[in-house]
Structure 1
Amino acid sequence: MRHYRSEAAGSPLPDTFSLLSWNVHKEMGRPPFDKTLQSLLATGSPELILFQEAVLDARTADHFPGYNVSAAINIDLRHRQYGVLTAARCPIHDTVGLKTNRREMHIATRKSMLITTHPFEDGGELTAVNLHAINFVSAAVFVEEIERLRVVLQQRTGALIVTGDFNTWSRKRMEYLEHFAAAVGLLPAAYINGHHIKQRFSKPLDHLYYRDVTLLAAEAVDTGRVSDHNPILATFKR
């Protein structure tokens, strides 16, 4: 596992903070995406940004001025990589990148997830999990891979946010995700305009869960055809 990282100064997370989670479908660097991202950053002013299918190259940090940036790569090409990316206005104290043991059928790629920790002003920490779950495999393999994350998170205490593209397009996957959330003590976010969250077979693919923080608001934002998913903007209180 390799990590892309760009350091910037930052203050601890404030008591009230915002988060943007989005599967960006490898669209970073294209004018329609860049314009939409700047609009989202201006509107929501998120302290934390968690992207799936992010483009990781020499220009990546330019999208996030004033942010610390860390990423876990799952596709490594000669001049460009792709993976999950977490950007934070606050410091990133620690990063743990995990890549699935199994490969997706047909395309033979692995998926990645990134666990980061961020300080609060009172000395506590938030753990943020940026997940792109494995797809094109059996429900049993899906469960096997998310179980690895469950084991890690059950060893952590305190504030926790888990978000990303879970690829929960089947009943079995959704049932396991509910079990996973309960085991870790996570609550599911309730959304404004939740119908804008991408679905397959009438089941949502993107999720946001939280623990030991209060969710003030969460909204799925319709961005048209910029990506094949829509972003989630959420505001929390410590």
Structure 2
Amino acid sequence: MLFFSNGCLIALEKNKFILILVMPNIQEHVNTLLTKFIPSYRFIRLQELTIDKTNSLQTEINSKSIKVLSWNIAKQNYNKTWLKDFSKMIETYQPNFIFLQEFSLKLEAKEWAKWLQMNWSFAPNFVDIHHQTYSGIFTASTINPINKKVIITKNYEPIVKTPKISLITEYLLSEQNTTLLTVNTHLINFVDLNKFKIQLNELEQVLSTHQGPLIFSGDFNTWSRKRAIILNQAITQLRLKPVIFAPDEKEKIKRFLLSPPLDHIFYRDISVKKASAKVLDQICSSDHKPLLAEFTYTNTQKN
């Protein structure tokens, strides 16, 4: 992972920071250098909004136990170690919802993980022609969504010139006259604060129309205090609350240097079950750690 700070290019590799260059026009030099290795035609946008797979016939989720797993997997889902970690988590925690960011899907193998007995939707934001893979957001659930919507940023991240994507899905809750809206997102990186704010504002406009329970989860790239403040403003406007992790758990969440956490789970009109919020620090197949939480909902619940 690369970061720019005070004219320096810093690489994060195996939890070690390596200073690569120090020069006044670092962004210009890095763009020129990397363009030689990442040609403009390598990444292309897609026409299809989602790739979907139905595996479960359930029609409702038990509103008294809504288990969530959120994880930036750093495109490791074809890695044998990652697959072992992932299958073990599914077996142990049995989540109702899985929100993965930086998910990869090979062009010739859309039938990924046939053993995963869940319904899933994959929203790609680009195709990598060189590696013949899709990349994007992956949402799995024990029931089919009744609605889904994909939001792709109009602004692109620099160098590779790719957008960021969010997948919004809506589900029926058991014995309740309401629906649960879930949002799996990956916020834009390496751009100015205004472009970061534009993506959040667009999500805020869509989410504000939903009146029932809501889960907003993913990698928010809040690696600076200013980004964290902008996110907090949007969350407050939407009347959302953050899942609170115990102090020793919170320290395990992915950060950059001394930054705020990058990964979050927010919610509204549901309750977090006591002691359910966990960060799985023993999982090392991605540089991000999986986040877990369990919620409950009753039709008399108020925020």
Does the TM-score normalized on the shorter chain lie above 0.5?
A: yes
Larger relative contact order (C-alpha < 8 A, sep ≥ 6)? 1
Superposed CA RMSD in Å reads: 1.4
Asked whether the equivalents of residues 143 and 171 of structure 2 are also in contact (C-alpha less than 8 Å), the reply is: yes
SS in 1 for 2:60: coil
Identity percentage of aligned residues = 31
1:4 matched to 2:51: yes
TM-score (norm 2): 0.75
1:14 matched to 2:62: yes
SS in 2 for 1:176: helix
1:149 matched to 2:197: no
Asked whether the equivalents of residues 85 and 283 of structure 2 are also in contact (C-alpha less than 8 Å), the reply is: no
Residue 279 of structure 2 aligns with which residue?
A: 220
Q: Aligned residues, how many?
A: 238
**Given residue 56 of structure 1, which amino acid in structure 2 is its aligned partner?**
L
Q: Which of 154, 157, 177 is matched with 1:104 structurally?
A: 157
SS in 2 for 1:199: coil
Residue 237 of structure 2 aligns with which residue?
A: 183
SS in 2 for 1:65: coil
1:198 matched to 2:246: no
- Point out where structure 2 has 5 or more consecutive residues left out of the alignment: 1-46, 298-303
Residue 132 of structure 1 aligns with which residue?
A: 186
CA distance in 2, matches of 1:140, 1:191: 29
CA distance in 2, matches of 1:196, 1:10: 34
**Given residue 189 of structure 1, which amino acid in structure 2 is its aligned partner?**
V
- Cα 1:142–1:83 shift into 2, 3 Å: same
Does 97-106 or 64-73 show the bigger shift? 64-73
Residue 17 of structure 2 aligns with which residue?
A: none
TM-score (norm 1): 0.95
Asked whether the equivalents of residues 283 and 290 of structure 2 are also in contact (C-alpha less than 8 Å), the reply is: no
CA distance in 2, matches of 1:210, 1:184: 10
Larger radius of gyration: 2
CA distance in 1, matches of 2:58, 2:173: 12
Q: Which of 134, 140, 158 is matched with 1:87 structurally?
A: 140
Q: Which of 225, 228, 232 is matched with 2:291 structurally?
A: 232
- Cα 1:64–1:93 shift into 2, 3 Å: farther
- Point out where structure 1 has 5 or more consecutive residues left out of the alignment: none
Does 184-193 or 69-78 show the bigger shift? 69-78
